[in-house]
Amino acid sequence: MSKTDTMTNRWTRFQNRLYARLSQRRKAVTGFVTEPEPRTVGSFARGRQLVAGNLLFAGYLVEAEDTDLWDVTAPSTGFDNERHGFAWLDDLAAVGDMRARDKAQRWVWGWIEAHGRGHGPGWAPDLTGRRVMRWINHAAFLLRGADEKRTRLFFRALAQQTWFLSKRWHAATPGLPRFEALAGLVQAGLALKGLEQMSDPALRALAKECEKQVDRQGGISTRNPEELLEVFTLLSWTSAALSALGRGTPGAQADAIKRIAPTLRSLRHSDGALARFHGGGRGVEGRLDQALAQSGVRPQPASGLAMGYARLYAGRTSVILDASAPPTGAASYNAHASTLAFELTSGRRPLIVNCGSGETFGAEWRRAGRATPSHSTLCLDGYSSARLANAGPGSDSEALVDAPKDVPVEFEEPMEGARFMAGHDGYTKVFGLTHARTFELRFDGRELTGEDILLTASDKAKRQFDRALDASGLNGIGYDIRFHLHPDVDAAIDLGGAAVSMALKSGEIWVFRHDGAAKLTVEPSVYLEKGRLKPRATKQIVLSGRAMEYATRIQWTLSKAQDTAYAVRDLHRDEPDFD
């Protein structure tokens, strides 16, 4: 980050504080135009934890049974952002009993007392938009039993925050933060009596952001599936609020919803969760299906890539592959070196995964999670297919550089299933090698055949490979093909080391085999999951070898056993049957 960028950020924070204090001059609104309906979905389990005083925000657990939320010293900026964003209000509302309502009321009016006068880090446009939406969504839950004085304080604070959003939404970072700020402003303008005049300018601004930020294929620049879901959900909530008042959705916003819906369906695994790429998680349980259903956009046959991802689906087996170059520019600050990585889910059970985002576990885990070895793909000599570089002096952000630029893809539909082929040039500069992958999913979803190829695609690439081979002392270029397993998968390698049996909690048995061209091992791995205190231990299947020629080919299969009773026989199906 340059000196100019640092000064700009300081000026932005100063402006936020200034307008936050100026908002105190606003008069309280008198109530709602119509009774708001809660649109956000919370977690009952997390709500119970909050009621018990266990605050789990941004990977930090603080036990505060007898301490008010706003008296807790935040262990990180992420912790502070989560509590000021009020998404936890969804969880308390999911519990919905007297204890949960008492805690929600104490924390909401505690915020008004501690920060309502324009103080604290919560006065950022995106956090304010997120907070305003939760207060409006759960107003009936919050105001039940509240006296006239507290009700007046509540509506005054909402009026102040809405005015702040009307002045500062444009200061939010383009992308999800700006959508949050504008969606909060729109919903406040539609819901609060006396602020109706704020909704139309915000709707026009939201429509412009839809045109700028959502591309023709229904994707966003970060290529983060979970962020796309959040944008889609915000647009759908806003559309529903307009519909409740008998108003139509602006054309640009309606078109964005129609473009995003099929993309999200392509990024949906068979268990209803999102593919985990570029910093995104699986999504709040049930939110994806709820958002798609509420959007009213009917499913349509998909073809080609969706936001740069390929999807193969058959027999309740879903395979999703990152088949494009990583994001560039500012969007690369959270991007992962995951080109040609894939995930596989069988029915309701994830089998092959990527490690995920380590952002909530600290800087080292965040960096490790972005590297190629944390993804289910091939890695050359310990190198990532893209390099992390500091964004500049005074910045703790790292951009993704030297990433693949040429990522050709091809779909085929053979008689027995679906085939997808892709390649990338991320290793060409250092090793002269192009990595190509072929996937073929059988029509019944019971077998995925894969092939990884390392090849030199030009004379220049051959010369670079020769130099790399000489530097290795003619020992070849080491490669590892990784298949990270979900923590719920129980994996065991057979005695001969030729196959790995994987048992899912559903009772299914999958078997991994390879052509013998590489060494097969089962090694420790981690599963980085938001909402947990530490990474979960898991395993990974690794095929290791050395590229000695201009072309190296490694073939492998993932196949489902007929049933658990025949799992052992299926594991050794190439051996003689003496029964």
Chunked into runs of 10 residues, the chain (579 residues) has average pLDDT values of 56 74 72 86 91 92 89 93 96 95 96 91 95 96 94 94 94 95 96 93 97 96 97 95 93 96 96 96 88 86 89 95 94 95 97 95 93 97 90 67 94 84 96 97 95 96 96 95 98 88 95 93 96 93 96 96 51 37
First to last CA, the chain: 69
Burial of 76 (0-12, 13-18, 19+ CB in 10 A): middle
According to the model, what pLDDT value does residue 52 have?
Answer: 94
- The 509-514 sheet, strands edge to edge: 409-412, 417-424, 434-442, 447-455, 551-560, 509-514, 499-503, 490-493
State the residue for tokens 């018990």.
Answer: 52
Handedness of CA 185, 189, 195, 199 (dihedral sign): positive
Determine contact, residues 424/414, Cβ cutoff 8 Å: no
Nearest CA-CA partner of 117 in 27, 185, 20 = 20
- The domain limits of the chain are 19-172, 341-560
Nearest CA-CA partner of 548 in 494, 472, 486 = 472
Compute the chain's Rg from CA coordinates. Answer: 26
The neighbour count for residue 87, using CB atoms within 10 Å, is 19
| Fold of the 341-560 domain | Beta-galactosidase; Chain A, domain 5 (2.70.98)
According to the model, what pLDDT value does residue 124 have?
Answer: 95
- Whole-structure pTM value: 0.91
Q: What is the biggest distance separating any 2 CA atoms in the chain, rounded to whole angstroms? A: 88
Handedness of CA 178, 179, 181, 186 (dihedral sign): positive
Determine contact, residues 93/138, Cβ cutoff 8 Å: yes
Burial of 458 (0-12, 13-18, 19+ CB in 10 A): exposed
According to the model, what pLDDT value does residue 284 have?
Answer: 85
